[in-house]
Copies of this chain bind each other. A is one copy, B any other.
Amino acid sequence: MNRITLSPRIRMTPFHDRTVAAGLSDITVYNKMVMPTSYGDLKAEYDRLINDVAIWDVSVERQVQISGPDAAVCAQYFTARDITNMAEGQGKYVAMCDHAGRILNDPVLMKLSGNRYWFSLADNDMLLWCKGIAAERGWDVEVIEPDVSPLAVQGPKAEDLVAESFGEHVRELKYFWFIETDLDGIPLVLCRSGWSKQGGFELFLQDGSRGNDLWDKVVAAGEKYGIGPGAPNHVERVESGLLSWGGDNTPDSNPFEVGMGRYVDTDTDVEYLGKAALQAVVAAGGPERLFVGVNVEGELGEAWPLPERTPIMLDGEQVGTLAAIVHSHRLDRTIGLAQIKRTVVEAGSTVEVETPEGYKPATIQKLPFL
């Protein structure tokens, strides 16, 4: 039953032809778009990411662009973090919350100019959210999904590759900072970012008709670095404790419950959605749950995502949910990502998690693992 029916309801990416030519074997649907997940050899894809450089089609990271005279106040309203002092060319990892402080997305917010911002999104339709609220507020902004499709190069050799293609100055880019540039006339935004902890860049293609050209140029430049196709890597992201919003968390989670506390400003004068609710969480001493790692006893053969979150138990009572469980290649043990009651985490309890071989004891630890 793992065969998917494609239809115009699910969009293709600008790099689709090249991903198929590269041997694409597995996909998912993310922001109503085809997202490559594997080219058939997960371990080789992992090794490439850890040791060399991988090319990832992450077009599904759609942008919501907010532009116009009220763009700054509008972008701030949607962001649970004080962005007053953000510079042009800077990006920040932020939480977007609803009126009750529940997290709706964990994008990178990019400030292209004082009146143009991009939210570079996880899998939830912030275009609907932002368009509706901005219109109700009567703000003088345009809210659109621009023709922008990120292509990532990730891994320790990504910087050499990018420096060779764009110039040595890109080595100076700080994390989440970006420049508007082009590659032989292909317009793009180059950002030091990507959904791994192995370093790298994302090339935000600004012309969907040039996908094949951009892919080919990156692959040609990367050949000497051993570039090959890959995708956001499930094992590496668990090792690195990277949040998969919507998968790792229950829908009622606040940002503190997905490990984003350090990116939330509650002691600020700026106004944003959910602020009062988030202040109340802080005043109450913290959230109900924490986003943590679990070290699970025993060997795990299967490194593929859990199809559903499973319960985490303590003394016969559910105290959390497990969202991912993998065999870590570098740690050579079984690890997972979970939301667990704060009191249980703080007590250092050993919990029980469901595995393909039944319930197993697991210790809790802070993220990341690596």
Contact surface of A with B, Cβ cutoff 8 Å: 1-12, 19-20, 24-30, 32, 36-38, 98-99, 104, 123-125, 128-129, 131-133, 135-137, 244, 246-248, 304-309, 323-324
Contacts and interface: CB of A to CB of B under 8 A. Distances in A.
Contacts of A38: 5
Given A1-B25, A133-B133, A244 B9 contact: yes
A133 B136 contact: yes
A20 B129 CA distance: 35
B4 A4 contact: yes
A81 B9 CA distance: 25
22 contacts: A1-B20, A1-B25, A1-B26, A3-B4, A4-B26, A5-B304, A7-B307, A8-B246, A8-B247, A8-B306, A9-B28, A10-B28, A11-B308, A12-B307, A28-B29, A29-B29, A99-B132, A124-B125, A129-B132, A132-B132, A132-B136, A133-B133
Q: What is the total number of copies of this protein in its complex?
A: 2
A28 B7 contact: yes
A77 B99 CA distance: 20
Contacts of A305: 5-8
Nearest to A305: B7
A128 B129 contact: yes
Nearest to A248: B8
Contact of A123 (B9, B30, B99, B132): B9
Given A8-B305, A27-B3, A137 B135 contact: no
A26 B98 CA distance: 35
| CB-CB nearest 9 A-B residue pairs | A9-B247, A7-B305, A29-B29, A5-B37, A4-B4, A8-B247, A99-B135, A6-B307, A1-B24
Determine which residue in A3, A26, A27, A308 has the highest number of CB atoms from chain B within 10 A of its CB, and name it. Answer: A3
A336 to B, nearest CB: 12
B3 A25 contact: yes
Contacts of A324: 8
Nearest to A130: B132
Given A104-B128, A131-B98, A123 B32 contact: yes
Nearest to A23: B1
A306 B104 CA distance: 32
A35 B172 CA distance: 47
A32 B246 contact: yes
Determine which residue in A5, A129, A135, A308 has the highest number of CB atoms from chain B within 10 A of its CB, and name it. Answer: A5
Contact of A1 (B27, B99, B308): B27
A309 B305 CA distance: 31
A247 B29 CA distance: 14
Contacts of A323: 8
